[in-house]
Amino acid sequence: MKQSIAVAATLAMVIGGFCSQAVAKDTRSAAAVAAAPTPAAKDAATAEFDKFREVMEDSNPAELFEAKGEDLWQTRRGPKSAALADSCDLGLGIGVVKGAYVQMPRYFADAGKVMDAERRIVWCMIEKQGFSAEELFRTPFANENFTPEPTSLVTYVAGASRNLKIAVPIDEPHVQDVYRLGREVFSFRAGPYDFACATCHGEDGKRIRMQQLPNLAKKEEAIRAYQGWPGYRMTGGFMLTQQWRMNDCFRQQRFPEPRYLSDTVTSLLTYLTANANGNVYKGPGIKR
């Protein structure tokens, strides 16, 4: 019996070890090493990675952040000493978390805005708990040494929509309006390289290097921009949200930086999420 335990433990450590190796590895060369010349073999390389991700999804460190987020949601905190669970309405009633994530972005009359999950949560932290906006906006995204509270909260809220269908209320006029703005943002070309989101994500079956590019304008593929977020990034080992994803897209587009929780980012998220309406969300994911 001791023997089998030891073997299992070693295996677990190998999985752990693989992650830390992935940190050091340049993804491009890793892909090149794994790839063989025929298209079929390339798909095999992708399949291998998918298999690895499947194993990791079973014990995703994102759960740690879900737990932390739940704690933050339940606890009375901030200058107003309020719990989000007693004060924050994510669209389905005060304190209701289950199913809220897959029904955002949505219109919130109290804020007069269409908001995505992260924007809403931060709004609640500021309005209901009295946290300083300046503070929250200073370091909005996680790094090796730091996880912002909204990131954990988003992960918790997202986890409470696991296996539920995405259902952005697109027929609501405010949401519809923001959706249309998002569609325009998606195809807006500018910057030194003349890039729009659509330049890389507007066609079927394309790749950048070995990275598959979903056609986000298409219903069947838009889910790929949604699934797996918020995601635990194995490279570096930290949790990232869709707000970060959009931010980093603009970086790669060679644009200046979108402001955290800005209308532009919300509009894009509205466009992308509503395009994925009807698909089942699998909960916080894992990314390489």
- Binders of other proteins in range 199-238 (CB under 8 A): 199-200, 203, 205-211, 213, 232, 234, 236-238
How far apart are CB 288 and other proteins at their closest, in Å?
13
The SS3 of residue 82 is strand
Q: Which is nearer to other proteins, 102 or 107 (CB)?
A: 107
Q: How far is the CB of 165 from other proteins (least distance, A)?
A: 26
Closest CA to 102 of 220, 245, 274: 274
Site for other proteins in 20-49 (CB under 8 A): 20, 23, 28-29, 31-32, 35-37, 42
Using the contact rule CB under 8 A, the part of the chain among 109-117, 125-133, 160-168, 180-188 near other proteins is 180-188
Q: Pick one of 18, 81, 132, 138: the residue that binds other proteins (CB under 8 A).
A: 18
φ and ψ at residue 154, rounded to 5 degrees: -60, -40
Residue 107: which of 178, 183, 186 has the closest Cα? 178
Is 191 one of the binding residues for other proteins (CB under 8 A)? yes
The only residue of 75, 87, 227, 262 in contact with other proteins, by rule CB under 8 A: 262
Choose between 102 and 197: whose C-beta lies nearer to other proteins.
197
- Torsion angle, alpha carbons of 227, 119, 106, 265, to 10: -70
Helix (H) or strand (E) holding 51: helix 39-58
Q: How far is CA 166 from the centre of its chain?
A: 14
- Does 176 help bind other proteins (rule: CB under 8 A)? no
104 vs 90: CA distance, rounded Å: 8
Which position among 46, 61, 133, 162 is part of the footprint of other proteins (CB under 8 A)?
Answer: 61
Q: How far is 153 from 69, CA to CA, in rounded Å?
A: 4
Residues classed as catalytic:
249
